[in-house]
Amino acid sequence: MSARRRVRIGVVGTGAMGGHHVRILAALPEAELLGIYDQRPEVAEQLARANGTRSWPSIEALAAEVEALVLAVPTYAHASIGRPLLAAGRHLLIEKPIAASLAEADQLLAAVASGSPPPVLAVGHVEFFNPAVQALLAVGGQPRFIEIQRLSAFTPRSLDVDVILDLMIHDLQLLHALDRSEVAEIRASGIDVMSGKVDLAHARIAFASGTVATVAASRVSAEPIRKLRVYLDQRYFSLDYRQQEIKGYALRNSGDKRVIVPEHLEVCRSEPLRLELESFLAACRGEDVAWVDGNAARRALATALAVREAVAGRG
């Protein structure tokens, strides 16, 4: 088998997530990391030296040398930076959420549609690439009830958005992957605790299929909890995002009795961000792979904004 073509790529933004992208891309054999850009030159230079690449004086200079970019900048800048890059034909992986508003998300999608050929627009819903999530999605079947908890300790990271766009949106994207029907109703509540924005939110989401989901997200928890439970017809699965494991149970016939038997799913553990970047690079090469495209990310954003409206009492 011939070696895969290396994709010439750069990273824009070297905060917490950008630093992880740089670390992984520098080690991936199918990536040629040509450089990074950050508005703080001294930070970019230090990170570049540590990962065997170089820093660039501007986004435009870096973009001229690559075919793909990872955009790990604050949400408010996604559209203003991403739109001209997509229009110039650069493939983009933009950290979630896709944009700060649906109008800005539509600008990014329009830039993709105008390309000939259209560039790849992937969005960093990294939890989609969690091996446990992929194992659960492979089961298929129509969920009847879903409950999700994503609780984290407070950090000063990502305070440009509330907990709904920071954390809950991961699970909203996964809800749409598990149930592709339209959202029928959203009820939600939330409060600000530390940041001046909503830091704790609970939502009840009903789908047209009849599926009901409850989603809790907090960035002021004493301990991290990240779990998803899904109830199907005579089957139940409990997924631990952090441990990357799934325990399941099913109702089965045993002679003249009905018994509950274990149905745990096998999961091959791996770093989700690495899997996401490998998928993005494959998509840039034109390979048929699973990835969260702009349309899926826009749908997750629309639901997140609807949750926000419900929290504010305008839903």
- Residue 1 is predicted with a pLDDT of 41
pLDDT at 314 over 70: no
Say which DSSP state 14 is in.
-
122 burial type by CB count under 10 A (0-12 exposed, 13-18 middle, 19+ buried): buried
Contact 197, 159 (CB under 8 A): yes
Mean pLDDT for the stretch of residues 202-213:
98
Q: Give the whole-angstrom CA distance, residue 204 versus residue 226.
A: 17
- Residue 153 is predicted with a pLDDT of 85
- Residue 3 is predicted with a pLDDT of 67
User: Among residues 65, 96, 98, which one has the least CA distance to residue 83?
Assistant: 98
Per the model's pLDDT, the better-predicted residue between 45 and 158 turns out to be 45
pLDDT at 2 over 60: no
Rounded to two decimals, the pTM is 0.93
Mean pLDDT for the stretch of residues 195-212:
95
Mean pLDDT for the stretch of residues 107-124:
97
Q: Which residue has the tokens 């749409």?
A: 176
Mean pLDDT for the stretch of residues 275-285:
98
Q: What share of the chain in percent tops pLDDT 90? A: 89
Among the residue ranges 50-54, 141-145, 179-183, 218-222, the one predicted with the least confidence is: 218-222
Looking at domain 7-126+273-293, its CATH class is alpha beta
Listing DSSP states for 260-304 in one string gives EEE-PBP-----HHHHHHHHHHHHHTT------BHHHHHHHHHHH
Per the model's pLDDT, the better-predicted residue between 48 and 16 turns out to be 48
Contact 237, 247 (CB under 8 A): yes
Q: Give the whole-angstrom CA distance, residue 69 versus residue 66.
A: 7
pLDDT at 206 over 70: yes
pLDDT at 203 over 60: yes
The matching CATH number, chosen from 3.30.365.10, 3.30.360.10, 3.30.470.10, 3.40.50.300, for 128-269+302-311 is 3.30.360.10
Q: How far is CA 309 from CA 209, 228, 306, in A?
A: 23, 24, 5
pLDDT at 106 over 50: yes
Per the prediction, the chain carries an average pLDDT of 95
CATH 3.30.360.10 occupies which residues in the chain? 128-269+302-311
Over residues 208-261, the pLDDT tens digits come to: 999 999 999 999 988 899 999 999 999 999 999 999 999 999 999 888 889 999
Over residues 51-76, the pLDDT tens digits come to: 999 999 999 999 999 999 999 999 99
- Residue 158 is predicted with a pLDDT of 60
Say which DSSP state 76 is in.
G
CATH 3.40.50.720 occupies which residues in the chain? 7-126+273-293
User: Among residues 47, 15, 52, which one has the least CA distance to residue 32?
Assistant: 52
